[in-house]
A = this chain, B = another copy of it.
Amino acid sequence: MTKPLNIGMIGYGFMGRAHTNGYKRVGDFFPELKYRPVLKAACARNKENIQAFADQWGYESIETDWKTLIARDDIDAVDICVPNNLHKEIAIACAEAGKMILCEKPIAMNTAEGEEMCQAVEKAGVANTVWYNYRRVPAVTLAKQIIDSGKLGKIFHYRANFLQDWTIAEDLPQGGAALWRLDADAAGSGVTGDLLAHCIDTAIWLNGSVSDVTAMTETFIKERVHQETGQKQKVSIDDACAFLCHFKNGSLGLFESTRYARGHKALYTFEINGENASLRWDLHDLHRLEMFDHADEGIVRGWKSIHVTDGDHPYMDKWWVPGLQIGYEHSFVHHVADFLKSLESGEPCHPTFRDALETQKVCDAVLASASDRSWHSVS
């Protein structure tokens, strides 16, 4: 017998859709799971919008005040899909109400907020996870397996970037419901929290902690019309951010993110070079992992492109047959499945709030370094 897990969703934007799709599909493809998400309630301030969202996706009810949502007895878990400046207050309230929490990344506006949130969930003992979804792209999970097997040996290098090009137009406004990611008051930072945070989360997962960083940021377009005021205002976010770092395992890191790389829609790539083997991955072809294995016979060594669609690849026994790829949205289905599994086992579902805080600390160090042009330790 399956048990329902009643979900309360706060927010209805891009991530609201992606997470909801995860809840709806998990049972079809992971039928062995004990818990089954139920779309109990969706919440947002704008009643008309949230009603339309609930109708489209099949939420049973709506709320217009997140406090009311949290107060409901029939909600087991709250999904926080609102701008970053609201994460802390909602998450702490959820913890205090004993709700499980699935929080969109980055965890918070900054480390201080994140620390408060961690303490709240840990004190309350509620299940918690942060949606760094790329860990659960099968090719990325496979990378983790290969690295953990020791096949790469000592690691020398890690590099990652996340390149987009959608903000190059000067007449693009900032702020408001659609573009809050371009407003530091709502987002905390620009590409650092939005894009680099993904790169950092994966990097820490695959390669361990970061020791120190030197960084630069840039805001190429200095002023944009703000959608809430209709006025041209200073752009407060970083349009681009790059940093060098040392990992605690002695390897060197290089990270870059921008929304001004013409030709790249969402090019998240990483590469890791070890003594014996290397791996690289690219979100634009997320179903492939590339590997170079120095143990291969000399004359036939080369980078191999692994089409991660076989039954023995992570998560892929749940889907189709070899050669038939899955896509972006499946990473969320996998995250939901692993969250549900964690409820069965009692183990944490990584990344937890605490895990996500480590990424936040790197982001904060990066922004501080860019600001004062000096190396910063990640404490």
- Which residue of chain B is the closest to A271 with respect to CB atoms? B261
Are B373 and A375 within 8 A (Cβ)? yes
| B328, A325: Cβ atoms closer than 8 Å | yes
Q: Which one of B243, B284, B323, B327 contacts A284 once the chains associate, using CB atoms below 8 Å? A: B323
A146: nearest chain-B partner, CB-CB:
B300
- Which partner residue on chain B sits nearest A374 by CB separation? B374
Interface residues on A, range: 35 or more
> Is A378 located at the chain interface by the 8 A CB criterion?
no
A320 to chain B: which residues have CB within 8 Å? 14, 18, 328-329
Known: A258-B156, A303-B263. A283 touches B218 (CB 8 A): no
The 8 Å CB contact of A262, one of B58, B278, B374, is B278
Q: Are A323 and B283 in contact (CB under 8 A)?
A: yes
Name which of A250, A261, A294 has the most chain B CB atoms within 10 A of its CB. Answer: A261
**With A and B bound together, what is the CA distance between A329 and B330 in angstroms?**
11
**Distance between A70 CB and nearest chain B CB, rounded to angstroms:** 26
Interface pick from A40-48, A285-293, A355-363: A285-293
This chain: copies in complex:
4
Return A305 CB to nearest CB of chain B, in Å.
5
Stretch in A3-11, A79-87, A121-129, A306-314 touching the partner: A306-314
Check if A193 is an interface residue, CB within 8 A of chain B: no
- Judge whether A273 is part of the interface by a CB distance below 8 angstroms: yes
Chain B residues closer than 8 Å to A264, beta-carbon distance: 273, 278, 323
Tell me which of B163, B319, B327 contacts A326 (CB under 8 A): B327
CA distance A142 to B252 in the complex (A): 33
Q: Mark A16-28 against chain B: 1 for CB-CB distance below 8 A, else 0.
A: 0010010011011
Is A349 among interface residues, defined by CB-CB distance under 8 A?
no
| 11 A-B pairs with C-beta separation under 8 A | A28-B56, A163-B273, A214-B214, A262-B278, A263-B273, A263-B277, A265-B321, A284-B325, A296-B304, A298-B312, A299-B313
Given contacts A242-B254, A299-B306, 11 further A-B contacts (CB under 8 A): A24-B28, A156-B258, A242-B244, A242-B252, A244-B244, A264-B278, A265-B310, A266-B321, A305-B305, A324-B328, A325-B328
The 8 closest A-B pairs by CB, nearest first: A266-B323, A265-B323, A263-B292, A302-B304, A304-B304, A324-B328, A302-B306, A327-B327
